[in-house]
Amino acid sequence: MQAKTSFFVALFFMLFLLTMIVSQVLADADAGPDQTVNEGDTVYLDGSGSTPEDDDDDDEDKIQSYLWEQVKGNPKVILTGADQAIASFIAPQVSKDKKLTFKLTVRFASGSKDTDETKVNVIDETNDPPTADAGPDQNVLEQTIVTLDASNSSDPDDGIETYRWKQIAGPSVTLSDPEAVQTTFTTPSVVGNKSTSLKFELTVTDFGGLKGTDTIVVNVTGDNDPPTADAGPDQNVDEETTVTLDGSNSFDPDNGIESYLWKQILGPSVSLSNPETVQPTFLAPNVEPDGVSLTFELTVTDVGGLQASDTTIVNVIWLNDPPAANAGADQTVLEKSTVTLDGSSSSDPDDGIASYRWKQIAGPSVTISDPTEDQPTFEAPSFDDSGDQPLIFELIVTDNGGLQSSDSTTVSVSNFEKDNPGASGGGCFIATAAYGSNIERKVMALCEFQTRYLISNPLGQACVDFYYAYSPPVADFITRNDSPRALVRWSLMPLLAVICMTLHVGPAPTLAFILFVFVSPVYVVRMRRKYSK
């Protein structure tokens, strides 16, 4: 009785060991949990949880390579260590919260691979810059007190911390307090009827350290009347178009305008064709969905040296590029199996995908689990219901700008008697019925073993022919009844362990291991009997 107990204990231990081998061989990639980060943070993508990740000497069980890729979301980031278990990048500056998706592909020394995805939410924490307002240009007489007023300057978020006035042109004057909101000075004397212009720059700084600037011209006049600058109306333009600034409506009432000077004072920097012409041009930059505003200042100077300035705003509007729908590859599935439609490879180049919508356009009607998901499922109809008629599904994706794109995929339904691949490596009917798909890794391992080791010899081919003749009814029964599936899966575990070992280490080491599994309990029993005597 003790000998029998010892034999079953040893046998149970060996079966448990074989089960662990299957789990080791069929390991998965792990891209780590989703994250929420702030702009400018260093973000780490951690794939070290991918299995197997052990320190044994079996090279066939080790991870051979890692590959990180950004597959969804904008803006694109630069990954450091994209071929390592742990990659990193700097969270980009965003105008609103953005979701970035990264895919990890793990390749094993055995030749197999697996993928997983993780999402990184980047939170917008941008400090908007202040707007400086030095007030309108002034025309004053000599030897008068002039007030420079910056009280109309503003900041949209944390407020203005400091003001700074600086004279940048004209005869030097003394400001009463260059760091006050309102500062004063006395205009200089002019010789005879001549006039002069004084130019001052105001710089305001908010509590986040961002700055804004503006200028004001103070004309100290004699008989010469100052010019009037006109930078033209504000414009709304598309990104990547040529924009013309127009100062041709500027004028001088007496001696005429001598020079023009354009300067950009706000917005992403652009290159003006010639800042000293009446109508310079520039190329509108690429922008995010929120667009940007560019502000330009025109300063005109008359023949007598007096100046005037004006500003114009150019709003650059984002052009939405359409998304690209990808309904996934065509599939051939078993009747009554659970089928997954995969639209996860769909993409959008700028603002991201807002929604998915699946609809069936051909074949016997099926019920899709959730047509608004990127990977919904449905149950394949019976072969008798579908015959040779494929099921065709259309995927429509819509981006956040409202543009759409569509793609379709075809699902063909097969049964055991019709689709007998013979020596091609298919036909694992019972396993396919138990696991629900002929592309499940365990089923593919069985088919690979059949191709490599069974159909290449007469005895193995005879076994395959017998299996083809008698297994389809059993598989059909398993497909139509849920209860036996778990029992069949458990029953296949020892066989899968042996097959996986054979595929990875070869038949000879596997045979030696099996002999050890079954001979060692007998040896233990005999030794116990010997010593018990």
Q: 212-251 pLDDT, tens per residue?
A: 999 999 998 766 778 999 999 999 999 999 999 999 999 9
Q: Identity (one letter) of the amino acid at 229?
A: A
In terms of phi and psi (left: phi > 0; alpha: psi -120 to 50; beta: otherwise), the region of 214 is: beta
Say whether both 217 and 311 belong to one domain: yes
Structure tokens at 463: 């076994």
3-state secondary structure 426-470: CCCHHHHHHHCCCCCHHHHHHHHHHHHHHCCCHHHHHHHHHHHHH
Rounded to the nearest angstrom, the gap between the alpha carbon of residue 150 and the centroid of all alpha carbons in its chain is 44
Write phi, then psi, for 517 (nearest 5 degrees): -60, -40
Q: Identity (one letter) of the amino acid at 266?
A: L
In which domain, by residue range, is 410 found? Answer: 320-415
Q: What is the rounded CA–CA span in Å between residue 447 and residue 291?
A: 55
Position 423 pLDDT exceeds 80: no
Say whether both 280 and 369 belong to one domain: no
Structure tokens at 351: 């603002």
Query: Of 8-17, 73-82, 230-239, which gets the smallest average pLDDT?
Result: 8-17
List % helix, strand, coil for the chain (3-state, nearest 5): 25, 35, 45
* 522 within some domain: no
Nearest Cα residue to 27 out of 132, 91, 108? 108
Q: What is the rounded CA–CA span in Å between residue 343 and residue 365?
A: 20
Task: List beta partners, residue 117.
Answer: 103
Say whether both 227 and 335 belong to one domain: no
Contact present, 452 and 503 (Cβ < 8 Å): yes
The CA–CA distances, whole Å, from 128 to 113, 137, 227, 372, 468 equal 46, 27, 34, 37, 71
- Global pTM value: 0.42
Condensed to tens digits (0 to 9), the pLDDT of residues 246-286 reads: 999 999 887 789 999 999 999 999 999 999 999 999 999 98
* 516 within some domain: no
Say whether both 153 and 297 belong to one domain: yes
* 371 within some domain: yes
Say whether both 261 and 327 belong to one domain: no
Nearest Cα residue to 39 out of 82, 90, 81? 90
* 6 within some domain: no
Say whether both 111 and 242 belong to one domain: no
* 131 within some domain: no
Beta strands 113-123 and 35-38, pairing class = parallel
Nearest Cα residue to 165 out of 157, 111, 153, 156? 153
Say whether both 313 and 192 belong to one domain: yes
Contacts of 108 (CB under 8 A, 6+ apart): 27, 52, 61, 62, 63, 64, 114
Comparing 59 with 432, the larger pLDDT belongs to: 432
Q: Report the number of distinct structural domains present in the chain.
A: 3
Nearest Cα residue to 366 out of 355, 382, 354? 382
Last residue of a domain, one of 97, 126, 155: 126
In this structure, the number of other CB atoms found within 10 A of the CB of residue 7 comes to 16
Say whether both 106 and 143 belong to one domain: no
Q: How confident is the model at residue 4 (pLDDT cuts 50, 70, 90)?
A: low
Q: What is the rounded CA–CA span in Å between residue 167 and residue 177?
A: 12
Q: How confident is the model at residue 6 (pLDDT cuts 50, 70, 90)?
A: low
Structure tokens at 483: 């209860």
Comparing 469 with 292, the larger pLDDT belongs to: 292
Say whether both 148 and 293 belong to one domain: yes
Whole-number pLDDT of residue 13: 60
Query: Of 110-114, 171-175, 358-362, which gets the smallest average pLDDT?
Result: 110-114
* 41 within some domain: yes
Work out the burial of residue 258: count CB atoms within 10 Å of its CB; fewer than 13 is exposed, 13-18 middle, 19 or more buried: middle
Say whether both 209 and 276 belong to one domain: yes
Angle at the Cα of 291 from the Cα atoms of 35 and 155, rounded to 5 degrees: 85
By percentage, how much of the chain surpasses pLDDT 70? 87
Nearest Cα residue to 245 out of 222, 270, 226, 225? 270
Condensed to tens digits (0 to 9), the pLDDT of residues 147-204 reads: 999 999 998 877 899 999 999 999 999 999 999 999 999 998 775 557 789 999 999 9
Last residue of a domain, one of 126, 148, 163: 126
Peptide bond connecting 52 to the previous residue in cis, omega within 30 degrees of 0: yes
Rounded to the nearest angstrom, the gap between the alpha carbon of residue 451 and the centroid of all alpha carbons in its chain is 40
Say whether both 101 and 45 belong to one domain: yes
Last residue of a domain, one of 126, 158, 180: 126
Write phi, then psi, for 404 (nearest 5 degrees): -130, 160
Say whether both 344 and 386 belong to one domain: yes
Q: How confident is the model at residue 420 (pLDDT cuts 50, 70, 90)?
A: very low
Q: What is the rounded CA–CA span in Å between residue 98 and residue 68?
A: 19
CATH of the domain at 82: 2.60.40.10
Comparing 234 with 338, the larger pLDDT belongs to: 234
For tokens 């114009």, what's the residue? 312
The torsion defined by the Cα of 514, 515, 520 and 521, in degrees rounded to 10, comes to 70
Whole-number pLDDT of residue 25: 47
Averaged confidence pLDDT in the chain: 84
Position 370 pLDDT exceeds 60: yes
